[in-house]
C-alpha cells in the first residue's frame, strides 16, 4: 500500500479530505495531518483521531520526541484502528522545532531510534518515519545514511524521504518545500544501500510519468499538494499503479457522481456531528480543475452567503450557474 500515498498536510488532510480522496482511490495509503503527542495526551482524543471507516488504509502521523509519550499515542492509534503510525522527522517549522520534534530530530538519530523502539514495543502496527535528506547546509549523503541506519536498527523498516534538505532557520515551511533543491539521487542511493528497507520518495512529483519513473528506483511515491489541488488525478491511480482495472470495469464514478457522494457525506456529517457543509466542501474545490465552468462552480461552493442552505441546494446552484455536466 506504500506504492502510492497522499502526504500528511497540515490544515488539509483532515478526515473530510481523506474521505473525498478515498472516493477517488481505493488503494493509495492516506495519512492524517500531523498530531502532536501533547494534543493527544492532554487534549480531545476523539477530535484528533476520529475517522471514517472508508478511509482505510490509513496512517496516523505523530509529532513528538519523548519515547514514552509516543508509545502512549501509538497505543491510542492501535485502539482507534489505524493501520500504521508515522513519526514526523521532516517538518521544519519553528513552532515544531520549539517542541523539539520534526526535522530537527534528524540531528539526533539515536533519540529517533529510541522513539521508534518504544512505539514498536507498544504496538504491533507498522511504525514508519518521514524525514528529509538533510538539515540546513548539511548535504553529505553520509548524514542521511547514518540517520536511516540508526533508526533501522531500532526496527523501523518503512522510510518516507522528502528529497530536499530542511532549512531550520530563515525559510518558512512553504519555502522549505520549494527552495532547497530536490535531490532524488540521494533517495535512490538509500534504496540501493538499504535494499531490505521500504523506501518511498516525496517532493515535487506531479505527473503519472514521474511516479512511474520513481517506482523504477524506489518502493513507493508520496504525493502532497498536487493530490490536493488536482484531486481527479487520484481517480487514475488504482488503474495506473495498482493494476486494479478489473475492480472498476466501467471506468469508475464520474466527477458528478463523486460530487453527489460528497454532498451525501456532508448531510451525514451535519446530522451526526453538526459539521457545516463548507468545512467539507473546501477540500473538493479542485475536482473540476481545468474544465469549462470550473471557476464559477468553485465560486458557488465557496460563497459564504450560501452557508445556511443545505449542501444539496448548493450543488444544484453550482450546476445551474454554468458548471455544466462533465464526466
The DSSP secondary structure of 134-156, one letter per residue, reads EETT---HHHHHHHHHHHHHTT-
Whole-number pLDDT of residue 179 = 85
Q: Is the pLDDT of residue 127 over 50?
A: yes
Query: Is CATH 3.30.420.40 the classification given to domain 255-323?
Result: no
Whole-number pLDDT of residue 245 = 52
Q: Is the pLDDT of residue 324 over 60?
A: no
SS3 state of residue 57? coil
Establish whether the linkage from the previous residue to 104 is cis, with ω within 30° of 0. Answer: no
Query: Is CATH 3.40.50.10860 the classification given to domain 4-247?
Result: no
- The average pLDDT across 224-252 equals 84
Whole-number pLDDT of residue 32 = 98
Please list the alpha-helical segments (H only) found in the chain: 15-24, 37-42, 45-49, 67-80, 94-98, 109-122, 141-153, 173-176, 184-193, 208-214, 225-229, 237-242, 255-273, 277-281, 294-301, 311-318
SS3 state of residue 220? strand
- In the set 17, 91, 104, 156, the catalytic residue is 91
* Upper half-sphere CA count for residue 318 (Cβ side, 13 Å): 28
Q: Note the pTM of the prediction, 2 decimals.
A: 0.94
Q: Where are the domains of the chain?
A: 4-247, 255-323
Per residue in 18-46, pLDDT (tens digit) is: 999 999 999 999 999 999 999 999 999 99
93-98 LR contacts (CB < 8 Å, sep 24+):
93/172, 93/173, 96/63, 97/168
Instruction: Take residue 231 and report the three cell numbers written for it.
Output: 484531486
Whole-number pLDDT of residue 325 = 45
Whole-number pLDDT of residue 246 = 45
Share of the chain above pLDDT 70, in %: 94
Are 4-247 and 255-323 in the same CATH fold? Answer: no
- The average pLDDT across 65-78 equals 98
Q: pLDDT averaged over the chain?
A: 93
pLDDT category of residue 327 using cuts at 50, 70 and 90: very low
Q: Is the pLDDT of residue 130 over 50?
A: yes
- The average pLDDT across 66-72 equals 98
* Upper half-sphere CA count for residue 20 (Cβ side, 13 Å): 29
Is residue 156 annotated as a catalytic residue, yes or no? Answer: no
Q: Is the pLDDT of residue 209 over 60?
A: yes
Burial code (b: 16+ CB inside 10 Å, e: under 16) for 47-70 equals ebbebeeebbbbbbbbbbbbbebb
Whole-number pLDDT of residue 291 = 95
Amino acid at each position: 500500500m506504500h506504492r502510492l500515498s497522499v502526504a500528511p498536510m497540515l490544515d488539509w488532510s483532515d478526515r473530510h479530505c481523506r474521505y473525498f480522496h478515498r472516493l477517488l482511490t481505493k488503494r493509495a495509503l492516506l495519512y492524517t495531518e500531523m498530531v502532536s503527542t501533547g494534543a493527544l495526551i492532554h487534549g480531545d482524543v476523539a477530535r484528533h483521531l476520529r475517522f471514517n471507516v472508508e478511509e482505510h488504509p490509513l496512517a496516523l502521523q505523530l509529532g513528538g520526541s519523548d519515547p514514552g509519550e509516543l508509545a502512549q499515542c501509538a497505543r491510542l492509534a492501535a485502539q482507534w484502528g489505524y493501520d500504521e503510525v508515522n513519526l514526523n522527522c521532516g517538518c521544519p517549522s519553528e513552532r515544531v522545532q520549539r517542541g523539539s520534534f520534526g526535522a530537527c530530530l534528524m540531528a539526533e538519530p539515536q533519540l529517533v531510534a529510541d522513539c521508534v523502539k518504544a512505539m514498536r514495543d507498544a504496538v504491533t502496527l507498522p511504525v514508519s518515519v518521514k524525514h528529509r535528506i538533510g538539515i540546513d547546509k548539511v548535504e553529505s549523503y553520509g548524514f542521511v545514511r547514518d540517520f536511516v541506519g540508526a533508526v533501522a536498527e531500532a526496527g523501523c523498516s518503512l522510510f518516507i524521504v522528502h528529497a530536499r534538505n530542511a532549512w531550520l532557520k530563515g525559510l518558512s515551511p512553504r519555502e522549505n518545500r520549494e527552495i532547497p533543491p530536490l535531490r532524488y539521487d540521494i533517495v535512490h542511493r538509500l534504496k540501493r544501500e538499504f535494499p531490505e528497507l521500504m523506501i518511498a520518495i516525496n517532493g515535487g512529483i506531479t505527473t503519472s510519468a514521474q511516479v512511474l519513473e520513481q517506482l523504477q528506483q524506489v518502493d513507493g511515491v508520496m504525493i502532497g499538494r498536487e493530490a490536493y489541488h488536482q484531486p481527479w488525478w487520484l481517480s487514475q491511480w488504482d488503474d495506473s499503479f495498482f493494476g486494479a482495472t478489473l475492480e472498476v470495469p466501467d471506468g469508475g464514478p464520474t466527477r458528478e457522481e463523486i460530487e453527489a457522494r460528497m454532498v451525501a457525506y456532508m448531510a451525514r456529517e451535519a446530522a451526526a456531528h453538526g459539521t457545516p457543509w463548507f468545512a467539507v466542501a473546501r477540500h473538493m474545490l479542485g475536482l473540476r480543475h481545468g474544465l469549462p465552468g470550473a471557476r464559477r462552480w468553485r465560486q458557488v461552493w465557496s460563497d459564504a452567503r450560501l452557508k445556511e442552505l443545505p449542501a444539496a441546494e448548493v450543488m444544484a446552484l453550482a450546476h445551474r450557474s454554468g458548471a455544466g455536466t462533465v464526466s
